[in-house]
Amino acid sequence: MYDLLLPFGLVILGGVIFKRLRFPGVDAESVRDAINAAVLNIFLPALCVKAVYTARVDARLFLVPLTSWATTLASLLLSLGVYALVGKKMRITAAEKGVLVLGATFGNVLYLGLPVLTGLYGSEAAKYALFYDLLAATPVLWIFGAALASRHGEGRGTTALQSLKIIATLPPIWGIAVGFCLKLAAVPVPAVLMKTFGMLGETVVPLMLFSVGLALSLPKVKHAVVALPAVCMKLLIAPFLALLAGHFLGLKGEPLAACAIEGGMPTMILSLLIAARFKLDVPLAAFLIVVTTALFFFTLPMIIYVTGFLP
């Protein structure tokens, strides 16, 4: 287990160190933006095409995004309820509440979930991360998460039509669609092209992990009390919800374990950008990312241990 986690941690640490060294003429944020743009528009779509085209697709695979929908929506409702109860006692502002609910709901299921699942179960498991995120968690984020952020912040709101447009124009979504079309039509893809997709896809994991490191920053301790419920919900309750939802839908074995692991991913890096866009509490968003990412290396072995008993 730690043979898997240690390399991941070291690559993330490499991103943190790169950011702290502050090389002359090199801005770490610009590097992160460039990496994210390249991954989103080139490397990840290539991985999606190959993963879907070469994957064994059956009815169970489509239960993964259904499990993700159920888990994400349940987490969203639960976190809203929790912070509605404790918000006044803790004197949580609207900007803080928006960040806390987003942080408790949306995990780093692609940037960190993809390398974890492929490290545990092999490259074939990439399909679980892709389906869990791109066909469920991402739509929920832009349909419901963006609306929540707009309501709690001061930034420009996002309409339902704009949210659907964002989802429809995501290159990885098109990568999945292309992979499915090629597979269903039994179109033979030239070996050299498939190898190219493979080479591009292989860069996704290290680039994603390095980008996570570039996004981390020193947290403010004053946020610890208000963040505690969100941290517990994200790392401990959400994987349990994923197990329940997946089991109820009929998932078993590796797909169910993959959903539980994805459910227990730390707070998504994208929450930092959403917090800035809608004028939420950006330092609190950074705090959640740092704390949940650090604690994830302790909670992940627990989740894997529990899923080891699954039939």
Q: What is the pLDDT of residue 155?
A: 58
What ranges do the domains of the chain cover? 24-307
Confidence of residue 222 (pLDDT cuts 50, 70, 90): low
Max mean pLDDT range (85-94, 104-113, 259-268): 259-268
Q: What is the pLDDT of residue 60?
A: 79
pLDDT at 166 over 80: no
Supply the mean pLDDT for the chain. Answer: 86
Q: Which comes out higher in pLDDT, residue 266 or 274? A: 266
Please compute the mean of the pLDDT values over residues 271-291 and round it to a whole number: 82
Place of tokens 């609190």: 284
CATH 1.20.1530 is the classification of domain 24-307: yes
Please compute the mean of the pLDDT values over residues 245-268 and round it to a whole number: 94
Confidence of residue 158 (pLDDT cuts 50, 70, 90): low
Instruction: Give the whole-angstrom CA distance, residue 176 versus residue 267.
Output: 24
Give 21-51 pLDDT, tens digit per residue: 888 888 888 888 888 888 888 998 998 898 8
Confidence of residue 87 (pLDDT cuts 50, 70, 90): confident
Angle separating helix axes 224-232 and 63-90, nearest 10 degrees: 150
Give 204-218 pLDDT, tens digit per residue: 878 878 887 887 776
The separation between the first and the last C-alpha atoms of the chain, rounded to the nearest angstrom, is 20
Instruction: Give the whole-angstrom CA distance, residue 98 versus residue 103.
Output: 9
pLDDT at 244 over 90: yes
Q: What is the pLDDT of residue 156?
A: 60
Give 120-148 pLDDT, tens digit per residue: 998 888 889 999 998 899 899 888 888 88
* Least confidently predicted of 46-55, 222-231, 238-247, 274-283: 274-283
pLDDT at 161 over 80: no
Count Cβ atoms below 10 Å from residue 133 Cβ, excluding itself.
Answer: 28
Task: Evaluate whether 176 touches 48 at the Cβ level (below 8 Å).
Answer: yes
Give 181-205 pLDDT, tens digit per residue: 998 888 898 999 999 998 998 888 7
pLDDT at 54 over 70: yes
Confidence of residue 157 (pLDDT cuts 50, 70, 90): low
The total number of residues shown for the chain amounts to: 311
The token duo for 140 is: 């929920």
Q: What is the pLDDT of residue 64?
A: 95
Q: What is the pLDDT of residue 134?
A: 86
**Burial classification of residue 202, based on how many CB atoms lie within 10 Å of its CB (0-12 exposed, 13-18 middle, 19 or more buried):** middle
Q: What is the CA radius of gyration of the chain?
A: 19
Q: Which comes out higher in pLDDT, residue 88 or 82? A: 82
pLDDT at 220 over 80: no
Torsion-angle region of 220 (φ positive above 0: left; ψ -120 to 50: alpha; else: beta): beta
Confidence of residue 152 (pLDDT cuts 50, 70, 90): confident
